[in-house]
Amino acid sequence: MAKKPMYRQIADAIRQQVENGELKPGDALPTESALQAQFAVSRVTVRQALKQLTEQQIIESIQGSGSYVKEEKVNYDIYQLTSFYEKLADRNVETHSEVQIFEVTKADELLAARLQLTTDEKVWHVKRVRFIKQKPVTLEETWMPLSLFPDLTWEVMENSKYHFIENVKKMVIDRSEQEIIAVMPSDDVVKALGIDPSKPVLEKVSRGYLKDGRVFEFSRNIFKSDDYKFTLVARRKH
Q: According to the model, what pLDDT value does residue 57 have?
A: 77
As a whole number of angstroms, the distance between CA 39 and CA 47 comes to 13
Q: According to the model, what pLDDT value does residue 170 have?
A: 95
Q: Mind giving me the DSSP string for the chain? A: -PPPPHHHHHHHHHHHHHHHTSS-TTPBPPPHHHHHHHHT--HHHHHHHHHHHHHTTSEEEETTTEEEEPPPPEEEETTS---HHHHTGGGT--EEEEEEEEEEEE--HHHHHHHT--TT-EEEEEEEEEEETTEEEEEEEEEEETTT-TT--HHHHHS-HHHIIIIIS---EEEEEEEEEEEPPPHHHHHHHT--TTS-EEEEEEEEEETTS-EEEEEEEEE-TTTEEEE--PPPP-
> Within 13 Å, how many C-alpha atoms sit on residue 176's CB side?
21
pLDDT digits (tens, 9 = 90+) for 119-139: 889 999 999 998 877 778 889
Q: According to the model, what pLDDT value does residue 160 have?
A: 87
Q: According to the model, what pLDDT value does residue 165 have?
A: 93
Contact 216, 208 (CB under 8 A): yes
pLDDT digits (tens, 9 = 90+) for 132-173: 777 788 899 999 999 999 999 999 999 889 889 999 999 999
As a whole number of angstroms, the distance between CA 195 and CA 202 comes to 12
Q: According to the model, what pLDDT value does residue 50 have?
A: 87
φ, ψ for residue 126 (rounded to 5)? -130, 130
Q: Which domains does the chain have, with CATH numbers?
A: 6-69 (1.10.10.10), 74-231 (3.40.1410.10)
Q: According to the model, what pLDDT value does residue 81 have?
A: 55
43-55 vs 6-20: helix crossing angle, rounded to 10: 50
Contact 178, 205 (CB under 8 A): yes
> What's the predicted TM-score (pTM) here?
0.68
Average confidence (pLDDT) per 10 residues, the chain, 238 residues: 80 87 81 89 89 82 74 59 53 77 96 94 95 82 96 93 92 90 90 86 91 95 76 69
